Amino acid sequence: MYTYTRFNYYMKQKQYLMKKRITVLGAGLVGSVIARDLAENHSVTSVDIDSESLEKLKDIDGLEVLQADLSDQNLIKKAVAGSDLVVGAVPGFMGYKTMKAVIEAGKNMVDISFMPEDFMNLDGLAKKHRVTVVADCGVAPGMGNIILGHHNRQMHVKSYECLVGGLPVIREWPYEYKAVFSPIDVIEEYTRPARYIQNYEMVTKPALSDPELIHFEGVGTLESWNSDGLRSLMQTMKNIPDMIEKTLRYPGCIEYLRVLRESGFFSYDKTEVNGAKIRPIDVTAKLLFPKWKLKPGEEDFTIMRIKIGGTENGQAKTITYHLLDRFDREDQIISMARTTGYTCASVANLLLDGGYPEIGVSAPELVGAVPGNLGYILKYLAERKVIYRIEES
């Protein structure tokens, strides 16, 4: 009995010593899931300006909360001062300045903010401060990039297609959609020109273009359309002749989104209303968010199909990854937060375990290119019941 007690004490002390200090910036639907997950094995501080979001986290073991305005870069630097690693989970429009502040604080970082700016512009600053930053580390972009980076290392890839969407289980008129991210970030998908690679050349088309109806087992027929989701792949994977990413929604969504877009409701240009200058996008986001917000208990699902074609050892090969993840009823966690947040958390643990020590700002496909990393991440996700089914032909 004495020996067993001493052994338990030793293991607890060892576990305590191995714990790292992680600061998660942003306590929204995804940031809170990341913080909860990482707090199981590390000492985590969740930082946000919203006291209501922090209130939901304050009683979790291993997790502390800090209320702070993350638009203030000096406050960010103070918040992360004692961290071994920082996770960025702020809205996209705050992402670039947040990443810059973390780098200047000399901290390693994993980020999911989906910023509109080119995060590689911060690579020189990150190298100057000798820090490792992995950007775009969600489900898409993120997991799709990691998968492609892995296979691009071991086969001659000729084509890459990623179809992805997060949707409510119940289709509620008129939008049949619920958002788990900042409304403005969602609207960006409907306005930002879509870029893809065809025969090694970049093709640019309007968002929502080239609609296609596609059947998915377990879900039914969904509508796909061009979106600007390739991001860093267009620079890091120039050896691949054909690459495209398309967003999935319920059939019929494109038409009403085009009407809103063409009518100017998504415009960032200020217009005068009763003597006040306002941006239509701000009004639209304010009006739509309550209608797009998942109510307590409402369920969602995430669907993704990644198809990679090419040759390996001189033989034609196609590898397809299928993901159909659903709302976690037991823990009441939405699927998009699970698939995005757990991917980010897995890479955070990977960095802490020394699995990616590269200095500078990296896209997630570079993490996937390191032998063993994809297996590490898939195992981490599977332990949380986020399962990728893989087919080869």
CATH match for 2-135 among 3.30.450.20, 3.90.1150.10, 3.40.50.720, 3.40.50.10440: 3.40.50.720
Distances (CA, A) of 380 to 81, 105, 167, 237, 341: 28, 29, 24, 26, 12
How many residues are listed for the chain in this entry?
A: 393
CA gyration radius for the chain? 21
Question: Which fold does the domain 143-335 belong to in CATH?
Answer: Dihydrodipicolinate Reductase; domain 2 (3.30.360)
What is the pLDDT confidence band of residue 9, given thresholds at 50, 70 and 90? very low
Structure tokens at 379: 């195992």
Angle at 105 between CA 362 and CA 84, to 5 degrees: 75
Round to the nearest angstrom and report the end-to-end CA distance of the chain. Answer: 56
**Helix H or strand E segment including 65:** strand 63-67
| Rounded CA separation 190/316 (Å) | 36
Per-residue pLDDT of 302-333, as tens digits, reads 999 999 999 999 999 999 999 999 999 999 99
Q: Tell me, what's the pLDDT at 18?
A: 67
Mean pLDDT for all residues in the chain: 92
Q: Tell me, what's the pLDDT at 280?
A: 94
| Rounded CA separation 149/280 (Å) | 39
| Rounded CA separation 47/96 (Å) | 17
CATH 3.40.50.720 range(s) for the chain read: 2-135
Per-residue pLDDT of 94-123, as tens digits, reads 999 999 999 999 999 999 999 989 999 999
Structure tokens at 271: 């217009």
Beta strand segments in 98-179, E: 109-111, 132-134, 156-168
| Rounded CA separation 298/176 (Å) | 13
Q: Tell me, what's the pLDDT at 295?
A: 82
CATH 3.30.360.10 range(s) for the chain read: 143-335
8 Å CB contact between 85 and 110:
yes
8 Å CB contact between 308 and 151:
yes
Return the percentage of the chain with pLDDT > 70, whole number.
95
Answer yes or no: is pLDDT of 377 > 50: yes
DSSP summary character for residue 294: P
Q: Tell me, what's the pLDDT at 15?
A: 44
Beta strand segments in 275-374, E: 276-278, 300-312, 315-326, 360-362
